[in-house]
Structure 1
Amino acid sequence: MASDVSPGLAPVAPPADATGNWVDRHAPAWARPYLRLSRADRPIGSWLLLIPCLWSTALAVRIAGTGWSAWALALLVLFALGAVAMRGAGCTWNDILDRDIDGRVERTRWRPIPSGQVSTKQAFAFLALQGLVGLAVLAVLPRFAQITAVASLGVVAVYPLMKRIIWIPQLVLGLAFSWGALMGAPALTQTLPAAFLLLYAGTVLWVVGYDTIYAHQDREDDAIVGVKSSARLFAGATRLWLVPIYGAAVALMGAGLWQAGAGPFGWGGLALFAAHLAQQIARLDIDNPALCLSLFRSNRDAGLLLFVALAADAALAGVG
């Protein structure tokens, strides 16, 4: 078993309030390493995990035609709690498996485990605690939704290993991060219509696209340590690859909306979402890490824009 701290590296202190995040400003000193381990200082991942849940809930409300009931609104809260807990657990698991690799990459060597702020045993304990929070959320959902959610755990568990095996580990990340697109209907109507399978497939490709942009920040370091990624595979042709990836994502989502009988608001939201993705492709400069990070983060806004449109569409269907 590997040691708790990457061999040959002295503990590395994280940059003090480098990003002005709430963890560095307000969290107690003892809690900061654990909050960083769960990426609470960078909530974008929780947003991107939650957004497919929001989409599928709105689509389920649209299909049911009942409007935004108390249970449908409660699902949004439950999915938000679950997204935060499970994203934190996923990051913790990733850091446990990658602790030696992280210690050799400039951007990640200050993470709590390779820097010596948290031991591997402490990380496992924290992982279990976050898992219990996720389990509490799961216990409130209907049985079919519970089964659907549990089915994702295998993909979540193997994702951190994929960067050592396949050239597009972002595809496996997409399978895991998009699972929320399958959750709305099981939680609301205890069914899983084809519309949600199409939404899921489109969301997987959306994740592949935006995480490829994100991965360009680490392209050189990944090459040094031998980590595979779509950013390394696509390299200078990334913009060309993103066109069919994002294009297929929008097409599959559109097929899902068509199956669900989406109205004008839903289609308008998808058009704005597609325009946002096109703008990302047009602006992309893979040699500008700051821009890559900004474009990656902008997917939260694109996803929320589509959710608002789908939510309005569902509300109107309920009134009708």
Structure 2
Amino acid sequence: MTDSRTTPEGLNAPDQGQVADAVTGNWVDTRAPVRIRPYLRLSRLDRPIGTWLLLLPCWWGLTLAMLHDGNLRWQDLWIFVGCGIGAVLMRGAGCTWNDITDRHIDGSVARTASRPIPSGQVSTKQALAWAVAQCLVAFLILITFNLPAILLGILALAPVAIYPFAKRFTWWPQVFLGIAFNWGALLVWTAHTGRLELPAVLLYFAGMSWTLFYDTIYAHQDKEDDALIGVKSTARLFDKATPLWLTGFLILTLALMGLAIVLAIPQGATPMRAIALIGAGAMGAHLIWQLLRLKLDDNDRLLRLFRSNRDAGLIPVLFFAVALFA
């Protein structure tokens, strides 16, 4: 295969810097200018699933907050869009930071050895500058929200910074991922209502349980390499008992989301509440489908199931949106 960096006509042609588990034929590898591809890969723009998983709890929080107070404003449209842009930026910054802290580990794992830092596409200093730049742009979006949401957004940097180190000291690094990835449910509820309330907290913990579900599936791809280099994960901890644990996380996710819905939506709004609860149940049905398809030693299937959580997480958003007009 010819390296496009050596061909004058190949600015947007595929090159050899592709990351092993990127989506085949993604736009970064096939259309983006060659010089910026390593940075886009640091931000995981060649695999958008992580952005979706960060974004969806934000949209849960926004739509449930609107169901809670019945107040739909033009500002909510900006919050909706701003969350999308912010999710791309903060997921990119978080992944870049993760790659900086894991640069020595990634070179020892087959799935991650082709990432930009261990493969030599970018230096650690260049990656750090890229992470800071993404955070700064995300901060410009954050300051368009109200003060309580801004403070929550700043506080969110702590779990983002800690997460890459979690697998070194705990068997439950997925908990730290859940803390970071579902923060948007708290932030966006607060951006809409001006205050943090119990339904948002319950929705946040529902998202954390969901993260434990999908990221345990994801972590099973690396369990052999992780064992060799001493990296901890729930996949290694649960091992053959993983389906039982996933069933527990599924039940907990539905229970917490259902309780958040019941407490958020006024008692008199029966159709609205029913539609929202059906949305939570439909997400649960999708998670059950994943469980039925699970094969712990089939990495291709594990990756497909992990990626299918975009659809699982979109289901409540769609039902909550429909409930707004019930």
- TM class, shorter-chain normalised? over 0.9
Residue 227 of structure 1: aligned partner: 231
- After superposition, give the CA deviation of every residue in 1:216-264 in whole Å (9 maximum; x if it has no partner): 1111111111100000111111001111111111101111001012522
1:196-235 equivalences under 5 Å are 196-235=200-239
CA distance in 2: counterparts of 1:159 and 1:50, whole angstroms: 18
Amino acid at match of 1:164: R
Work out whether 1:276 is the aligned partner of 2:306.
no
State the Cα distance separating 1:15 from its structure 2 match. 5.9
1:205 and 1:164 map into 2 onto residues whose CA distance is 21
Bigger CA drift: 80-89 or 255-264? 255-264
1:14-93 pair list within 5 angstroms: 14=18, 19-67=24-72, 69-93=73-97
For structure 1, which runs of at least 5 residues remain unmatched after alignment? 1-11
The one of 297, 303, 313 equivalent to 1:293 is: 303
- State the Cα distance separating 1:284 from its structure 2 match: 0.6
8 Å CA contact 2:202–2:257 kept in 1: the answer is yes
Match of 1:239 in 2: 243
- Give the superposition deviation at 1:181: 1.1
Greater CA drift, 15-24 or 36-45 = 15-24
Partner of 2:191: 187
Identity %: 50
Match of 1:6 in 2: none
Would you say the 8 A contact 2:23–2:46 is kept in 1? no
Q: Is the 8 A contact 1:58 1:184 kept in 2?
A: no
Q: Is the 8 A contact 2:178 2:211 kept in 1?
A: yes
> Cα distance, 1:204 vs. partner?
0.4
Match of 1:267 in 2: 277
For residue 133 of structure 1, the aligned residue among 97, 116, 137 is 137
2:111 counterpart (107, 112, 115): 107
Of residues 290, 307, 310 in structure 1, which corresponds to 2:320? 310
- CA RMSD after TM alignment: 1.4
TM-score, length-scaled by structure 1: 0.92
**Residue aligned with 1:111, SS:** coil
Shift of 1:36: 0.4
1:158-197 map, 5 Å? 158-197=162-201
Residue 108 of structure 2 corresponds to residue 98 of structure 1: no
1:121 maps to 125
In 2, the alpha carbon distance for the partners of 1:219 and 1:286 equals 10
Match of 1:7 in 2: none
Aligned CA distance change for structure 1 residues 237 and 161 (closer, same or farther; 3 Å): same
Q: Which stretch of structure 1 is more off in the superposition, 307-316 or 39-48?
A: 307-316
Separation of aligned partners in 2, 1:35 and 1:112 = 10
CA distance in structure 1 between the aligned counterparts of 2:145 and 2:19, rounded to whole angstroms? 40
Instruction: Name which structure has the greater RCO, CA cutoff 8 Å, separation 6+.
Output: 1
Contact 1:59/1:184 (8 A) holds in 2: no
Output the TM-score relative to the length of structure 2.
0.91
